[in-house]
Amino acid sequence: MRLRNVKDSDKKISIHPKVVKNEKNYKGKWNKIFNNDNPIHIEIGMGKGKFITTLAKNNPNINYIGFEKFTKVLVRALKNLEEEDLRNVLVIRMDAEEILDVFQEGEIDRIYLNFSDPWPKDRHDKRRLTHHNFLEKYEKILSPDGRICFKTDNKDLFEFSLEEIEKYGWKVEKVTRDLHSNDNGEDNIMTEYEEKFVSMGIPISRLEAVKERLS
């Protein structure tokens, strides 16, 4: 479903206090921006923001940064941010390709990838957020025990991701191909997409990948 453009969306984003401007200037300084030394978790492709705002509300001692490259999606996410008085969440409008320009080595403790674009054609595999080119970027910004949490409704993308992550040498944990049929989904926070897919009976796959390299 295509989203309609929101009038003055660029202006709304440019003046919103939760949207970070000149984000590359804060590399290595994010704890100063949040004014604390709490862990930093990021979500790449935050969509309308339900997932990250719920996490921020439930975990006040963790700082959250959401990435969204599409203006018309991000402007809708801002409504979720406005509904809660959350001091531990910020958002950035940019492509994940530039993530190394935003964070220094070891600055992030967790990365969430929720229902990323599967880029189904083989020639587009490098655009998938679990391709080893992105894993290399994540490895640099994650802390020594940092991890990736990945969810998708796309079976092919999940199998590709599982193989790619294992091939890269990371430890894979908590693998499930039907999150909502077992206890693994007990503490799960659903995104807007996830709610839709679950209501349609589509199984959700999930895994966690630990930066610790296997010997």
Instruction: Show binding-site residues for substrate.
Output: 121, 153, 191-194
Q: Are 66 and 74 in contact (CB under 8 A)?
A: no
Residue 204 in tokens:
């959700």
> Binding site residues for S-adenosyl-L-methionine, as ranges?
43, 68, 95, 117
Catalytic residue status for 117: yes
Would you give the distance in Å from CA 200 to the centre of its chain? 23
By the 10 Å C-beta count (0-12 exposed, 13-18 middle, 19+ buried), 142 is classed as: buried
HSE value, Cβ hemisphere, 13 Å, CA-based, for 66:
28
* Element spanning 206, H or E: strand 205-213
User: How far is residue 210's CA from residue 207's CA, in Å, rounded to a whole number?
Assistant: 10
User: How far is residue 156's CA from residue 161's CA, in Å, rounded to a whole number?
Assistant: 9
Q: Which of 10, 101, 117, 178 is catalytic?
A: 117
> Binding site residues, as ranges?
43, 68, 95, 117, 121, 153, 191-194
Catalytic site positions: 117
